[in-house]
Chains A and B, each alone.
Chain A
Amino acid sequence: MSKSSSNAIEGFEPKIVAFLCNWCSYAAADSAGVARIPSPPNVLPVRVMCSARVSAELILKAFMSGADGVIVLGCHIGDCHYDSGNHRTVKRIPLLRNLLIYMGVEPDRLRLRWVSAAESPQFAQVTTEFVKDVRPLGPLSAPLRMEGGAP
């Protein structure tokens, strides 16, 4: 059993899958682009209509497929375009994260934040910070991805 990688990999850039809700965080990401606020290129956005769409399965699949970090960005509580979708998100993601931590995954690999449509600088800041926190962890490995193709 290999231990997870140390942070000594030269030039490693983590791949981040960001689940963005259409009405808030995706709009913020869009505005950040329009306003030419720099955001890290590591972030690969997956648009969903509501953060409540993001199931545990999707997050695990993202990790298994190659994401070193997964960030879910939704609307602030009370501002969900679908009224209470983000209520489920706020219960689901921390629970999944705690379970993953329990099984030995680094805590910084999964994050949940609220970014509203008007908060484009925060989008850039949150994603930049996330990349910075994931980078020293190196590529994701056990148990959701194994090195060298080992089972």
Chain B
Amino acid sequence: MVTLTIDGQEIQAEEGQTVLEVARQAGIKIPALCHHPLLEPFGACRLCVVEVIRRGRSRLETSCTHPAWDGLEIKTNSPPVREARKTILGLLLSRCPNVPVIQDLAREYGVMEPPFPTDKPDEKCILCGLCVRTCHELVKADVLNFSQAGVERRVGPPFLEKTRQCIGCGACTIVCPTGAIEIVLEKDAVYQEKPLGPTSAIWVPSLTAVPRVPVIDTDACIRFRQNDRTNGEIADACGVCEMVCEAGAINFEQQDEVLELDVGAIIVATGFEMWDPHQLSQYSYGKSPNIITGLEFERLSNAGGVTGGEILTADGRKPERVAIIHCVGSRDHNAHPYCSRICCMYSLKQAHLVRDKTGAEVYEFYMDMRAFGKAYEEFYERVQKEGVTFVRGRGAEVEVLEPQNGQKYGQLRVKGEDANLGRMVQADVDMVVLSTAIEAPHDASQVASLFGLSRSEDGFFAEAHPKMRPVETNTDGVFLAGTAQGPRDVPDTVAHAGAAASMALALLDKGEVTISPTVSYVLTRYCTGCGKCVVVCPYKAISLGEDGKASVNAALCKGCGSCAAACPSDAITPLHFTDDQLVGQIMGVFYEQIVV
């Protein structure tokens, strides 16, 4: 522990800290533009200069690089310090007269106008080196560095040429204090500015997640990406999250664990995915950042989202006119013929939120309003009374218009039929929300094979009986819960899942299982021990005994009868579907014609 005096206050500090760190910890404000707590200090911007008084002599030093020695006396806001900062800010403002963060800082120190002219008024880079240090120390990609000297000094990749070394992590854009670096995607630049914003590679997926802990997206995380890219040579890039985590909860070494469990029942609750509206080009999804899906709207209007819950267009304005289009990809023979069930109600809710938060005009293009649940119809009536305009006709097309009047993005023209009026109508709006279909996940057929499930025509998993057995499947002990079985909303999912859980518990609670009596048995007199039944059985329920004859494990046998058809000697047959019985059926049908 060391003791220093800052602005007359005695402050205790750890050995090895810098004056800037100690001051900031004590709540004393010192401006700095080139400082980052996780990077080596550079002393480039000079804004953090303070008076360091030692042995009666005062010197101006950058507090970001000066160690906090025992007995130091520091003045952070004395006239010499202020004068120095004013000069520095004047120089910075002269170099970058149009950067807001410098303008604000300069104003604080009385610099209203840049004292010197520049022939590059759009310059944003203050050569603070944060990007260079980040790319070198954290990302370890070493793409950026200073080159040239004097007034030609600049930051960039070698020879200012595009380089494959850049992994596109965006760390430089985040640390840059003046916004001098932008990420540009090589293709499809329209994705730059969706109103949903980027998220970091370590993030909490949802504020209501249980457990509510962050996860690392290893496809985006710089450490994992560099490790994979360099085959382990650069294994410790970044790691900022681990550095700042006070609980020490970050563990990059975690591996997937494969657990083998012996269970008596399985509930398949694998959910759904959103249908991708790129598949029907008339909705122009992807051609404007202001055409979003219902799910994206949810994120937008969520208080935990990028805009803090404000509904804004991609260029940050409140929309004045919004269109919501129902049945995008549902009830459509070019996509999914079924109704996705949940969209009418959430579209009404979204219309209500838009009205409430922005006062915008809302046009809702719908085919039928499916308000089937408790208080659903009443809510629909309420939304109508709130002034939402309902157009009864499928929203057929969304056209992206050219931007006008200095706008960044053009308006969106929604065309559709108003069936009540018997006319085509169109509305030019600032934002379009597509209520897209929900569908079975893309890997549903693999999951189905794994659990022996069949799928209905709509692609969701098939229940044992559409009316009487909604949570069971044709495989004993495997149950379905929620949207894995078909579109349903929250209350219905809760009921469905509750039913599945109850059936699973009842099964386990009984302590014994009732199996079907259609199991195969062997007529040992006829069995030659050839073993064909053993090979054919999908459940390995048949084995050859010491006597060389086949015998069936009735607990494993499911009664398919494959063995019976494979046996040339009629020596094995499933109960209730024996050769006698099947031949009996056939002969019974033709009774009148058969002589023998």
Among listed B156-164, B397-405, B582-590, interface-contacting one = B582-590
Tell me which of A4-12, A83-91, A99-107 binds B. A83-91
| SS of A interface (majority) | loop
Q: Which residue of A lies closest to B593 (CB)?
A: A66
Contact with A along B572-596 (1 / 0, CB 8 A): 0010010100110111011001110
Contact between A57 and B561 (Cβ–Cβ < 8 Å)? no
B415 within 8 A of A: no
> Pick the contact of A49 from B455, B456, B574, B583 — CB < 8 Å?
B574
Q: Are B586 and A88 in contact (CB under 8 A)?
A: no
Q: Does A127 belong to the interface (CB within 8 Å)?
A: no
Query: Assuming A61-B583, A92-B565, A118-B457, is B462 touching A50 (CB within 8 A)?
Result: no
| Interchain nearest-CB distance for A58 vs B (Å) | 6
- Inter-chain CA distance A66–B474, complex, in Å, is 34
Closest residue of A by beta carbon distance from B570: A57
A117 and B536: CB pair below 8 A? no
Is B560 interfacial (CB-CB < 8 Å)? Answer: yes
Say yes or no for A126: interface residue by CB 8 A criterion.
no
Among the listed B559, B574, B594, which residue makes an inter-chain contact with A66, where contact means beta carbons less than 8 Å apart? B594
Bound state CA distance, A48 and B561, in angstroms? 8
B564 part of interface (Cβ distance < 8 Å): yes
User: What is the number of contacts between chain A and chain B, taking CB atoms within 8 Å?
Assistant: 97
Interface size class of B (residues with CB under 8 A): 35 or more
Q: Is B462 within 8 A of A17, CB to CB?
A: no
Task: Evaluate whether A58 and B590 lie within 8 angstroms (CB atoms) in the complex, with A81-B454, A83-B452, A88-B565 already known.
Answer: no
Interface of B is mostly: loop
- Inter-subunit contact A88/B566 (CB<8 Å): yes
Query: Which residue of chain A has its CB nearest to the CB of B564?
Result: A53
Of A24, A65, A83, A119, which contacts B457 at CB under 8 A? A119
A95 within 8 A of B: no
Q: A23-B474, A58-B582, A58-B583 are in contact. Are A15 and B590 (CB under 8 A)?
A: yes
List, in ascending order, chain B residues with CB within 8 A of A23's CB: 454, 474
CA distance A79 to B594 in the complex (A): 37
- Contact assessment for A17 and B589 in the assembled complex, using a CB-CB cutoff below 8 Å: yes
User: Contact check: which of B560, B587, B595 meets A85 at CB < 8 Å?
Assistant: B560
Distance of B563 from chain A, by nearest CB (Å): 9
Closest to B583 in A: A61
B284 within 8 A of A: no
CB distance B565 to A66 under 8 Å? Answer: no
Given A49-B518, A53-B577, A116-B454: A82 and B564 interface contact (C-beta under 8 Å): no
Within B526-585, which residues are at the interface with A (CB < 8 Å)?
Answer: 536, 538-539, 558-562, 564-566, 574, 577, 579, 582-583, 585
If A53-B564, A53-B574, A81-B452 are given as contacts, then 14 extra A-B residue pairs at C-beta distance below 8 Å, sorted by A number, are A15-B590, A23-B454, A46-B582, A49-B574, A52-B562, A52-B565, A53-B562, A57-B579, A58-B583, A66-B590, A66-B594, A80-B538, A81-B560, A88-B536
B contacts, CB < 8 Å to A: 445, 449, 452, 454-457, 462, 474-475, 518, 536, 538-539, 558-562, 564-566, 574, 577, 579, 582-583, 585-587, 589-590, 593-595
